[in-house]
Structure 1
Amino acid sequence: MVADAAASTQRLDRWLANVMGDLSRSRVKALIEQGHVTRDGAIARDPSEAVRPGARYTLTLPPPAPATPAAQRMDLSVLFEDDHLIVLDKPAGLVVHPAPGNLDGTLVNALLAHAGEELPVIGGAVRPGIVHRLDKDTSGVMVVAKTDRAHQALSEAFAARDLERAYLALVWGVPAEATFRIEAPIGRHPVDRKRMAVVPKGKPAATRVKLLRAWGTAVALVECRLETGRTHQIRVHLAHAGHPLVGDPLYLRRRPAAAKALPEELEARLAGFPRQALHAAVLGFTHPVTGQALRFETPPPPDLAELLSALWPDWGTIPTNPV
């Protein structure tokens, strides 16, 4: 479709929604952000850009997603499994459940192949058995329910924070205090909707932080424990406190001043780390059926372990204890 002169004052998403007629503006906005709209053959990803009169816009609808994810066999690092639940070590780079842009190749697809019809539907057809999730590029321990009873009990435990969760995070700069608590509400960023932010009307959020190791004043390894479970909570809170995660693609916006204190080679390694340096190291909870106390702890994956070893050759001797 070619835009006429009357469209020049309109946002791209609003104009396309009006032209299409059968798509909502929010749906059109999502399609633009996912790269399904072109302007004169080039992808247009900004829903708020002004329409250019005379330009030819093309919107290509992706094929509909299947109502139920397909089972796909993948190697899973299973730490524990019985008739009621699975505990696994999720690798970085694996999306937990299907969503626009990641319709397959997710942990849910792998779980369906692993457990099949055992997974409960109480979590929804797209998220069967999922009780909590980790960001795509965050590694570490996760628990998945295999029965409705386990799903309900585990969901209640996560909601009540009646469990133990500890994360290892490599951050820029060194906190002034050995232990501290960050309490700041989190909500959608007012401008960039892909990001979360500390906002006045956000949901209450609190994170306890413990300094484990420091490299001069440049970088630190910290342990984080969640009192709440907001989207990107650790990443947002640490960035808000002035200590963004090494490698974080969303919340590390520029080269940190603390990086100047590092040798050039070491700074290059940290600056080139391709994902947020965050690992869900510990998960402890009461078995929802047997009542057994379960606790699982995993070391960081090789890419993060190599980075930590470059900073502190003996970092593996650091205990993960409650703050």
Structure 2
Amino acid sequence: MASEADDDEVFGLRVVTLAGGGRVDKALAEALPEFSRARIQALMAEGRVSQGGAPVSDGSAKAVAGDYRLEIPPPIAAEPKPENIPLVVLYEDAHLIVVDKPAGIAMHPAPGSESGTLVNALLHHCGDTLSGIGGVARPGIVHRIDKETSGVVVVAKTDAAHQGLSTLFAAHDIDRVYVAFTRGAPSPIKGTIEGAIGRSPNDRKKMAMVKSGGRHAVTHYTVVRTFGPVERPLAARVACRLETGRTHQIRVHLASKGTPCLGDPVYGSGSPAGPVKACIETAQLSRQALHAAVLGFVHPITGETIRCESPLPPDMARLEALLSQL
């Protein structure tokens, strides 16, 4: 599945070695930062934490030195319910639907976010025609974009369309162009960022460019315009064309150039210049400045060439107007 997407659940057997001392639930939460202390306590209550073959059920007990085994079960997919959430439909027929997703809406239900998603809205709009191939919690979903990324998404309404679209994404026969506003400007002004992306070894909730164990990722970019001094731009509008679609691909790749998306709370390390920061605040941009602007493909059933475009959403349009004054 192609994915510029929200983090997947982390599950499976985990073995953690503790030095001993302090509360065991706190020590385990510190050793496994991807899990909250409450989550550790819940696993204990379910009998999924053990040490030396004996279950560990009391989180307040003192941690002893040694290996702890934690069994992390996969999330149980709840069947999403239809919800009357407005949709901006760019194209629709009996086989598929293309929508313009606003920022702030997750693609599909996940633990802690079981409602208010694009899938909930599509179930209301499409009824029983939505494909179930993507799984109970992700019917029709072929590719994903992050919750706080806006823009064009295609969803299958039939199994045949789902299979056809999945084949197109796997073969990279989809034209996907994103607009990003970055801190500074990538150099050179046009190029390709290539590097495998996998879980960050330092933070399991983040992705990173890795030397081994990741998935091949390629992003082609062009600096469309810069803002501020020509010799040292304070920000830039960048067009990114995806060759592959990995989790957080554009955000990770742009950050690797030292030019993260403006407003990115995860990969935007360091603050932008004062004037740019003021523009972000005035524009009321409260998320990463990334928008899926173009989605083009050959219809897997009819053979028709489909190309859907989405203009910049209000927050990013305001940001560009303000940056233009620098």
TM-score band w.r.t. shorter chain: 0.7 to 0.9
Indicate the residue corresponding to 1:247 in structure 2: 263
SS of the residue 1:153 aligns to: helix
Partners of 2:123 and 2:130 within 8 A in 1: yes
Residues 77 and 136 in structure 2, CA contact (< 8 A), matched pair in contact too: no
Residue 246 of structure 2: aligned partner: 230
Matched, 1:204 2:216: yes
Q: Which amino acid counterpart does residue 218 of structure 1 have in structure 2?
A: L
Q: Could you say which residue in structure 1 is the equivalent of 2:302? A: 290
> After the TM superposition, which segments of 4 or more aligned residues of structure 1 sit over 6 Å from their partners?
50-53
Partner residue of 1:70 out of 81, 96, 103: 81
Secondary structure at 2:251 match in 1: helix
Q: What is the SS of the residue equivalent to 2:191?
A: strand
Deviation at 1:312, TM superposition (A): 2.7
2:187 pairs with one of 147, 154, 176: 176
The letter of the residue matching 2:86 is: D
Q: Where does structure 1 lack aligned partners over 5 or more consecutive residues?
A: 1-5, 26-38, 41-49, 54-63, 314-323
User: Which blocks of at least 5 consecutive residues in structure 2 are unaligned?
Assistant: 1-19, 32-39, 51-58, 65-74
Give me the whole-angstrom Cα distance separating, in 1, the residues matched to 2:298 and 2:202: 41
Contact 1:12 / 1:51 at 8 angstroms: preserved in 2? no
TM-score between both structures, scaled by the size of structure 2: 0.77
Matched AA of 1:284:
G
Aligned twin of 1:185: 196
1:44-193 matches, cutoff 5 A:
67-193=78-204
| TM-superposed deviation, 1:67 | 2.9
Q: State the 1:163 CA deviation.
A: 1.4
Displacement, 1:192?
Answer: 1.1
- In structure 2, relative to structure 1, the CA distance for the partners of 1:129 and 1:51 (3 Å cut) is farther
Alpha-carbon offset, residue 177 of structure 1:
1.7
Cα distance, 1:21 vs. partner?
A: 5.1
Please, which of 47, 50, 64 is the counterpart of residue 22 of structure 1?
47
Deviation at 1:51, TM superposition (A): 6.5
Deviations 1:88-112 (A, max 9, x none): 1000000000011211110001111
Could you say which residue in structure 2 is the equivalent of 1:46? none
How far apart in 1 are the matches of 2:62 and 2:165?
49
**Does the 8 A contact of 2:95 with 2:157 survive in 1?**
yes
TM-score (norm 1): 0.78
Quote the Cα distance in structure 2 between the aligned partners of 1:7 and 1:147: 56
Change in Cα spacing, 1:175 to 1:83, as seen in structure 2 (3 Å) is same
The Cα shift of 1:130 comes to 0.5
- Structure 1 pair 102/51, CA: closer, same or farther in 2 (3 Å)? farther
Say which structure, 1 or 2, has more relative contact order (CA 8 Å, 6+ apart): 2
Cα RMSD, aligned residues only = 2.6
Letter aligned with residue 75 of structure 1: P
State the identity as a percent. Answer: 51
Q: Relative to 1, partners in 2 of residues 1:265 and 1:255: Cα closer, same or farther, differing over 3 Å?
A: closer
Classify 1:268/1:122 alpha carbon distance in 2 versus 1 (closer, same or farther; 3 Å): closer
1:251-262 matches, within 5 Å, as 251-256=267-272, 259-260=273-274, 262=275
Deviation of 1:264 after TM superposition, in Å, equals 7.5
